[in-house]
Structure formats: C-alpha cells, structure tokens
Chains A and B, each alone.
Chain A
C-alpha cells in the first residue's frame, strides 16, 4: 500500500533562517505531488504541485520554493524565512488519473519566531 512521510512534525525557526521540509511517497510511482499551507484561522491553500521530476508549478507568489529531485521526493524550501511563513504545511500525492483523490501526510507545524 502507498504511504506518505513528511518531516519534521514540528519546527521552530528564527526569522531569516533557511527552511527545508521533506516529503516522500512509498508504494507508487510517478505520482503527482503537492504542497499545501494551512495558516491559522484559514483554509488550505495550494502552494506548489509537480507532475514529474524537476517539474514544479507555483500557485501563489511567495517566499518559498519547491523541488522534486526524485520521483517520490518533494522538498519545500526557503532561503530566508518570514514571520508570515508560519503555518501548517501539508504534503500530498495523487495518482495520474483524473478521477482520483489526493492523500495527505501528517503535516509539519512551522513556527517562525
């Protein structure tokens, strides 16, 4: 069966520090991959999605970037964190078919201080 791993679970980082969040998927190949952010009191917003290695689409302008160095690995990064980057970050994957659902990781709680 497929599983999705996301780490770390929680992270406290100072303003201006770099960020790297990692997500890996097991049990499937060539998945679509996604990064969402859930800010306090708000819904989930799609940040990035990827349909293949090295193929990244950004959905909103921001201080973050994403990379997909391997088929089942998706990384969310920042060179310099802002206070506004605080939130709950969720990685997700889906199959290629149009009528399929997305499966989410357990999330990373990022607090920028």
Chain B
C-alpha cells in the first residue's frame, strides 16, 4: 500500500532563513506527488504538484520541490521564509482517481 512519511512533526525557522521540509513516499509505480498547505482551521491549498518531466517543480508563494526517484523523496524548499508561511504542510501521493494518501504533516513555526 502507498504511504507517505513526513519525519518532522515541527520545524522552527527564523524569518529570512531557508526551509526544507522532508517527504518520503512508498509507491510501486511512477507517483503523482503533491504538497498542500493548511492554515489553522482552514482547508488545504495546493502549493505544487509533480506528475512527470522535470524533477524540480515550482509552485506558488516561492516554494519548489524536487522529486528524487532513487531516494523516494519529494522535499519542499523555500530560499527565504516569511512569517506568513507559518502553517502546516502536507505531502501526499495519489493512489489513482486522485485518492490521496497524506503524510501526518509538518507544522512550520517562523521565529522573528
């Protein structure tokens, strides 16, 4: 069965510093991968997606992610974090029919 692991439950980053959130997946075929962001009490907003092609994908709000098949990873990065980036981030893999399997999420805290 497909699974997604986000090993970091919480991460604290200083404003202006770079960010990397880790995501590892388990999936037999070529995966469809996603990163979503959730502000408290809100729904999920799609940051970026990978279906095929270029392994470095650009998303909204200055985020990017790199698909590494050899490492089964899809880490999310941002070169300079803003206070408004504080939220919970979810990595997900599609099982087909866009049925998503989510990781448990990483809560990002941004310190001044």
Contact = CB atoms under 8 A, between A and B. Distances in A.
Nearest to B42: A106
Contact of B52 (A44, A46, A49, A99): A99
B100 A102 contact: yes
A46 B99 contact: yes
Interface residues of B, number: 23
A49 B99 contact: yes
Query: How many residues of A sit at the interface, in one of the four size bands?
Result: 20 to 34
Contact of A59 (B51, B99, B105): B99
B6 to A, nearest CB: 8
Q: What secondary structure prevails in chain A residues at the interface with B?
A: strand
A107 B99 contact: no
B46 A107 contact: no
A104 B98 contact: no
Interface of A: 6, 32, 34, 36, 42-46, 49, 51, 59, 90, 92, 94, 98-107, 109
